[in-house]
Chain A
Amino acid sequence: MCELQKDMKFEDAMKRLEEIVKSLEDGNLSLEEAIKLYEEGVRLSKVCNDILRSVEKRVVLIEKLNGEYIQDDITNDIYGGLGQKE
């Protein structure tokens, strides 16, 4: 999984989105151009949003017991088994 590239793509998308916002705010556009840009912006913001929201919250606790790694999904009860005692 090439995360860095995904990051780059994401950052590029954000940069492009900011450019679009600026051009729209400059207001020296024909209506057609503005609509086109706006559509691109909406698309980009959806893409970025999808990237940012691509995973759901998940908290997994891993413990080594008798030489085995046990994974326990504690998403809905984060503090049930955490940080209870120093």
Chain B
Amino acid sequence: MMINNIVSKKEWSVYELTSYLKKKIEIDVLLKNIYLKGEVIRPSVSGDHLYFELKDLEYDAKIKCVFFWFDKSVEIKHGSKVLVKGNVIFYEKEGIIELKVSEITDIGLGELFVKLKQLEEKLRQEGLFDSKYKKEIPRYPKKVGIVTSKNGAAIRDILNTIYTRFENIQVYIYSCSVQGQNAPYEICEGIEYFNTAEPVEVIIVGRGGGAFEDLMAFNSEIVVRKIFESKIPVISAVGHERDYVLSDFVADMRAITPTNAGEMVVSFQKQALEKLNECHKRMKSAMEKIFNMIKEKVGILQYKLYQNSPANTIAKRAQDIDLYCHKLSFAISKKLHEAHRNLKNFEKRLADLNPESRLSVARTNFDNCSRRLGEAFKKIFQQKEFAYKVNLEKLIALNPLNVLKRGYSITLHNSKILTTISQISNGDEIVTQLSDGIIKSKVFFKQEGAESDV
């Protein structure tokens, strides 16, 4: 249906094409469960899946392979010669063909790999990889030679690395092929050129990453020998860290990447430059510190000098005098103040002791006392008067004269009151006292007994 649509069209959309191809491949039974023999190129594991390329053992042909949930017990290395079973599938979104592997069998190392191993062993036996032959890489090279392709990514990486870190360096690039049949010879020419025509201090030989066979020029015997013969130190910088080639073993230094090689030739110079700047700064600040310390010392000395200068001594004395004056006046005023206070105190006490006041107090007391005396006297007088009056009354009541008034009389003889007749004798003169006068009589008779009828 869709195919009919397509046939009638002149223009295809990408999706139409990829969908068409997918269908074509999926319906082709020949592409189901096929067996392929080849060499594993750059295997990489991602999670539980194995990705690699399978290279034809004779021709320049490759196909991408994926082995989902592969058997991890089978170790698949770069260069392994394997037999795989799988289905060809087409990814319409990416437009790529892949072999979806279901089985993989290692049928020994790739031939190439075997040859390489033999060569490596031979060269090692000869001592080409011995560390005793390794030359020192100059730390501060001014002129660097690079043997690589002018079209590769490696040269850009190297130059970027060098010139972003350090400007004062000269780079001579000998451009040559780095893969293919002529590559080994051209690489050797480049190394020779820097050893003769254009002397440099260090040579970088290398290229960017690639498939195993793309790096083969750097495994070639002539290149290895040329590097070994070079009078100038050589840094080998081929592919990535995991790519090992024979030039890495023979070189005086192996860089894991071209970028790393660039770092090697400038890192010391960059560090030296940084160190120089740092030293300069530190020297300056140390000097400043020293100057400041000395300045401080001078300052202290100046201060001490000033402190001990006559002018300052005088000023100090003047200050002392001022201080003493101040203290003195303060003391005097304090004394005055005290005296004043005492005076006030005494005045007050004197005032308190004033005789006038005592006099007035005494007077008051005296007045009080005399008033009380008068009152007491009066009281006593009144009491006495009262008693006297009472007594007088009594006396008046008891007055004998009053008895006389009632008719009684007193008879006296020789001024003696007669109480009995025995005191007198007949013929005696007697005086009778009445209330209002006396009678003189002579006794002519006396009789005992009370009543008489006289």
Please list the residues of chain A having a beta carbon within 8 angstroms of any beta carbon in chain B: 3-4, 6-7, 10-11, 14, 17-18, 20-21, 24-25, 27, 29, 31, 34, 38, 41-42, 45, 48-49, 51-64, 69, 71, 78-79, 81-86
B175: chain A residues at CB < 8 Å are: 61-63
Question: Does B143 contact A55, Cβ atoms closer than 8 Å?
Answer: yes
**A-B pairs with beta carbons under 8 Å apart, 17 shown:** A20-B279, A21-B283, A24-B282, A24-B287, A25-B282, A25-B286, A27-B286, A31-B294, A41-B279, A42-B280, A52-B168, A54-B168, A55-B168, A57-B163, A64-B176, A78-B159, A86-B208
Answer whether A57 and B167 are a contact pair too, CB < 8 Å, given A52-B273, A63-B150, A69-B197. yes
Contacting residue for B150 out of A21, A38, A57, A82, CB 8 A: A82
Count of B residues near A, CB < 8 Å? 49
- The CA of A54 and the CA of B143, in the complex, are separated in Å by 11
Nearest B residue to A44, CB-CB: B279
C-alpha spacing A53/B166, complex, angstroms: 10
Q: Which residue of A45, A59, A64 is within 8 Å of B171 (Cβ)?
A: A59
CB contacts (< 8 Å) of A84 on chain B: these are 151
Report B-chain residues with C-beta under 8 Å of the C-beta of A56: 168, 170
Chain B stretch 361-412: residues in CB contact (< 8 A) with chain A: none
How many angstroms from the CA of A55 to the CA of B272 in the assembled complex?
15
Task: Indicate whether B80 reaches chain A with its CB closer than 8 angstroms.
Answer: no
Please give the distance in Å from A48's CB to the nearest CB on chain B: 6
Cα–Cα, bound, A56→B296 (Å): 46
Contacts A3-B201, A55-B142, A62-B193 given; 8 further ones with Cβ under 8 A? A14-B272, A24-B282, A42-B280, A45-B279, A48-B272, A54-B142, A60-B173, A64-B189
Complex contacts, A10 vs chain B, CB 8 Å: 140, 272
Assess whether B174 is in contact with A62, with CB atoms less than 8 Å apart. Answer: yes
A85 to B172, CA, bound (A): 20
Beta-carbon contact of B282 and A4 below 8 Å: no
**A62 B290 Cβ-Cβ under 8 A:** no
B290-307 vs A: 1/0 string, CB under 8 Å? 110110000000000000
Q: Once bound together, how far apart are the Cα atoms of A31 and B291, in whole Å?
A: 8
